[in-house]
Structure formats: C-alpha cells, structure tokens
Structure 1
Amino acid sequence: MTTLDKIAPTVVPLHPLLAARWSSRAFDPDHEVTDEQLAALLEAARWAPSASNTQPWRFAVTRRGTAEHAAVLDTLAGGNQVWARAASALVVVAARTTGADGAAQPWAVYDAGQAVAHLSVQAQAEGLAVHQMGGFDRDRLAAVLAGSGVTPLVVVAIGLRSEPARLTEPFAQRETAARVRLPVGELLLPVRPQQAG
C-alpha cells in the first residue's frame, strides 16, 4: 500500500514527528488500533499542561464497529461521515469548563487543545494518523455524552493512513494537496510599550 509522505516545508528544521504530522482523511478500514496504542495516546494527553493543574479534558473513546462509534459518527457533518467511518476509532474530546465548586475554568478549552496536541504527536510516533473535526452537531453529541457535564470540543479520527484513491471527491484532491501555512511573520503581533505616567 502506498501512502503520502507530506513533510512540512519549514524554514528551519523541526522534530520529525512534528514535520511529518498532517491530517489525513484516508484511513485503512481494516486496521484496528490496539489497546496499547490507545493507552499511549491517552497517556500523552493526560500529561499535557493545564492551568493550576486542573486537567479539564475528558475523552470518550469509541471503536469502529461498536454502537458507541456509530452514535458519535451519526453526530458528524455529512462530509466528515463519508471518510471518518473508516477510522479505527473516534475520540470525543470535551472539557469541564466549571470546577467542582461551580467556578468558571476560563482556560479549560485551551488546556484541552493542548491535550489533543500531545495526543496527535504521540499518534505520529505510534505510526497512526489523526484528523481533528469541528464539524459535528454539538447538541446531539452532548446528548450522546448525557450526564457528563462537559462541553464537546472536537471529534478526533484515529487510524492507519491509507491510499488517497480510497476517497471520493472532493476528499481525494484535498488529501493530495500541498500543505500550506501562513509565514511566521504574518502571525506575529506588535507590542506597544506603555508610556510611564
């Protein structure tokens, strides 16, 4: 099987795990992620930093072929369902945005994002592909996670990368498109020192 190698064209060298990571839509529908691999991904996420060590992230792990997986898949936008059904697992990432005392945890969403970043790098190390999706029905997904008191943020498809030819259009073309990012210079914000007064 031939899969794409889409190393990021960077202006300075990056760690190979970061340079080689990209969001594939072509997943091998026969691949099964192992318990050990899922444990490693969740362990990587667990050790992400969080404000005051609140660890607000929560995960719902579903495997292809289960009723739980079908329930999560059904909440995805139609275009995502087309290709995400082949992923070995769909992981819902949610955040507890209030603490046990009812106080708001304003950094919860940011912290959960860090946990997913850690998970995605560990997946790359495990030889797995990850694709994060924001295209889902939030109310329906919250209902699937009924009683959990969390805010669903993203659904992560996890599996073994496969051939782009498995995909229909427009997804096959997106799979083979060049990776692009804004240059760092466009991402920098100016800081204006305040006059002493």
Structure 2
Amino acid sequence: MPDTRTPTYPIAEDYLSRWSPRAFSDEEVSEAALLTMIEAARWAPSCYNSQPWRFIYVRKGEPVWEASLDTLVPFNRMWGEKAGAVVFLVSAVKMITKPGEAPAPADYHTFDSGAAWAYFALQASRMGLASHGVAGFDKDKVRQLFSIPQDFTCEIAILAGKPGDKSGLPEFLQGKEEPSQRRPLAEIAFNGYFQGSL
C-alpha cells in the first residue's frame, strides 16, 4: 500500500489497499475466484433485505467474451481486454416487501447494488486480484446480449483479474496507474448541520 494514502483515523488496511487499476496481466481468472468475489457481494446490506443485485460474469476465452468486450466504450475496451473476466452488475427495480404482496418499486436498488460492488471489490483486493468498475458501456447491448428482463437495470461493468504491469498500458495512462486520493475528512463529515460544497 502506497505511503501516500494516510487515513485521518485508524481503519483496516483493506480500505486503503483497495484501488481500481487498469493494468491487468492478460491471464485467465478462475470461476472459483469470481464466485468468491460474488459470494462476498452477496452479504452486502440492502433495503428490506431485498438483495436486488445480480451478477453476470464472462471469463476470458468463453464464447461470449468478445461480445462482452464489445459492449465497452473503446477507451475501456482498450485496457479492459487484458482482464481475466468482465462482470455485469444489474439490479432489480422492484422488490417484494411481504410474502404474497405485489412487487413495489425498489427505490434504493442502485444504492444497495453499490454496496454489493464495494464488497466485491474489497474481496478481490484481499485475494490479490484487481477489479475496476466502469460506467462506460452500452447498457442496451448488455441487455440484449444476456436477455436481461425489463425489471432489471444495468448498473456497472466490472473488469476483474490478475494485476499486470503498467508498462502494458498506453503511455498516457501509465502515470495514472496508482491509488487515488480522497477528500479530507473535514470536507465530508459535518456535526449538526451541512457545511459542504461541490
């Protein structure tokens, strides 16, 4: 973990060592490793315990690998094709709050799925693997490719796999291949009333 990431208060190392690299090794990642990351995501909290998240994963070399990469915008495909897997996180837009009742709008499905993605990412980091969530992909292509029903929305695409050397990235990305910083705690935590800005 780089010395440049220093918390204001002591926290577990996991939170500091996790970051979103773009350099992957071009190696395959096992199905067991992917399912372990998804298993961690499965235990995330959610509104009414509705668990709106669903994960569609494709490993390098599988029949729809190229089609999965083709859903990414060119910039993300450029570096993402060296990942060992691409995972699409989708979420249910409705939920059942009580048995026997009709489905109700799941107003927090995106928020809850974000929690699941965080668990996924932390588990990947613990395993010595890299994961990078991206918004730059064609949701309509993903919906068609995987026959996703209208009751689900596409949230993010996740590139996952074994970390690689940044020298394999285009030169303009190599300098960005390091953990990013965060706003100071005083800019995001306020006692008693809101004091923030954009």
Normalising by the residue count of structure 2, what TM-score does the alignment of the two structures yield?
0.87
**CA displacement, residues 5-44 of structure 1 (integer Å, 9 cap, x when unaligned):** 5462222332122111110000001x22123211211110
Same amino acid, percent of matched pairs: 32
Conserved in 1, the CA contact under 8 Å of 2:31 and 2:59?
Answer: no
User: Is the 1:27–1:87 Cα contact (8 Å) retained in structure 2?
Assistant: yes
Q: How many residues align?
A: 187
Q: Secondary structure in 2 aligned to 1:175?
A: coil
Alpha-carbon contact 1:120-1:130 (below 8 Å) kept? yes
Q: Which residue of 1 aligns with 2:42?
A: 46
8 Å CA contact 1:6, 1:22 repeated in 2? no
Residue deviations 1:138-165, cap 9 Å, x none? 2222222324331010001111111110
How far, CA to CA, are the matches of 2:186 and 2:64 in structure 1? 44
Give the aligned partner of residue 81 of structure 2: 85
Question: Which residue is 2:13 aligned to?
Answer: 16
- Which residue of the partner structure matches residue 196 of structure 2? none
Deviation of residue 116 (structure 1)? 0.7
Q: Which moved more, 1:15-24 or 1:97-106?
A: 97-106
Q: How many Å apart are 1:114 and its aligned residue?
A: 0.5
Q: Which SS does the other structure have where 2:106 is aligned?
A: coil
Distance in 2 separating the partners of 1:137 and 1:191: 42
Task: Describe the shift of the 1:141–1:191 C-alpha distance in structure 2 as closer, same or farther (beyond 3 A).
Answer: farther
Aligned to 1:157: 159
| Unmatched 5+ stretches in structure 1 | 193-197
- 2:145 aligned partner: 144
Which residue does 1:107 correspond to in 2?
A: 108
RMSD over aligned Cα, in angstroms? 1.9
2:175 paired residue number: 173
The equivalent residue for 1:126 is 127
Offset at residue 53 of structure 1 (A): 0.9
1:71 aligns with 2:72: no
- Report the alpha carbon displacement of residue 170 of structure 1 after superposing the two structures with TM: 2.1
Q: 1:6 to 1:62 in 2, by over 3 A?
A: farther
Q: Which runs of 5+ in 2 are unaligned?
A: 97-101, 194-198
1:190 deviates by 6.3
2:30 aligned residue (10, 23, 34): 34
Structure 1 range deviating more: 110-119 or 164-173: 164-173
In the other structure, the counterpart of 1:25 is 22
Distance 1:11 1:103 in 2: 41
